[in-house]
Amino acid sequence: MINKLYIATDSTESFRFIIVDSTDLVQSVRNIHNTSATASAALGRLSTMAAIMSHELKNESHNITLNLQGNGQGGMLISTVNGRGEVKSYVSHPEVDLPTKSNKKLDVGSFVGNEGLLTVIKDFKLKEPYIGQTSLVSGEIAEDFSNYFYQSDQRPTVVALGVLVDTDLSIKSAGGLFIQALPGFDESLIDKLESDINKFPPISSLFVAHDDPFDILNQYFSDFDLKLLGKKEVQYLCDCNRDRVERSLISLGKQTLTELIEEDGKAELVCDFCNKKYNFSKEELIELRDNL
């Protein structure tokens, strides 16, 4: 299923507004990784953030990878998006679930951890990728990215991410909101923006009815006379293929391939992002080795 991301600005072009209903995308995360409720919320938020950041990609072959390595029980979380708006994600421990917090919300902060690193890798197919890194603030993910953008861009930034998990573990709704001041922004509008943001309900609740995301923006930020700059389709789609897996096997080297041939007589590789299995017979392994 395909979700749509909307990009807008206000009449003074002081702020960039991005909103996405990522319910179907996060449901795909849940289906593929068989995530617990807490894992769905955590990986769903990160996947939604990746979808939002796809607006930076002007070329289909460019990609951005988001990596959370905290001290929580969920282990490492990764989400990658390409210029086509295709997101793929991974979590070390999708089965880990945690008790809800006192406010009945899923404890994403403990799943991720509040100590560790948030790493953003932007690959624009130049000589070297851009790598930005900040310390985790809370592990709640939205706060961690707000801090990342403040540190990297030195501009006021609002990030809101939410995933509502139903009692049967399906995804009832999910979405994200990103607002960032643009260069030369009108500082007198900050108070008005903060006032509107304070009226905003929990982000995931906005998409239960699956209303048009741009209509939601206009409803809550009506004073800003928003104009739509563009729309982008986003979906969960892994780009793995047999050729790429073959190259991974070849990269192991002749000695390791020989050991696989002699000890196992076959190989099975499973994609971390979509769980697709790739099987190689003894004869295929010998051919790969002998071509080295």
Q: What is the pLDDT of residues 30-70, one digit of tens each?
A: 999 999 999 999 999 999 999 999 999 999 999 999 999 99
Average pLDDT over residues 7-19: 97
Quote the pTM value: 0.94
Place of tokens 């892994």: 238
Return the structure tokens found at 126: 């130049």
Question: Is residue 134's pLDDT more than 80?
Answer: yes
Domains defined along the chain, listed by start = 3-236 (3.55.30.10), 242-290 (3.90.1280.10)
Average pLDDT over residues 248-273: 95
Burial 116-147 (b: 16+ CB within 10 A, else e): bebbbebbbeeeeeeeeebebbbbbbbbbbbb
pLDDT bracket for residue 2 (50, 70, 90)? confident
Question: Is residue 245's pLDDT more than 80?
Answer: yes
Average pLDDT over residues 91-96: 98
Question: Is residue 156's pLDDT more than 80?
Answer: yes
Q: How many residues does the chain have?
A: 292
Question: Is residue 9's pLDDT more than 80?
Answer: yes
The strand ranges marked E within the chain are 3-9, 15-21, 63-70, 76-82, 86-91, 116-123, 130-135, 157-165, 171-181, 227-236, 266-270, 277-281
Question: Is residue 105's pLDDT more than 90?
Answer: yes
pLDDT bracket for residue 292 (50, 70, 90)? confident
Q: What is the pLDDT of residue 204?
A: 87
> How many other CB atoms are there within 10 angstroms of residue 156's CB atom?
17
Return the structure tokens found at 47: 């996947």
Question: Is residue 210's pLDDT more than 80?
Answer: no
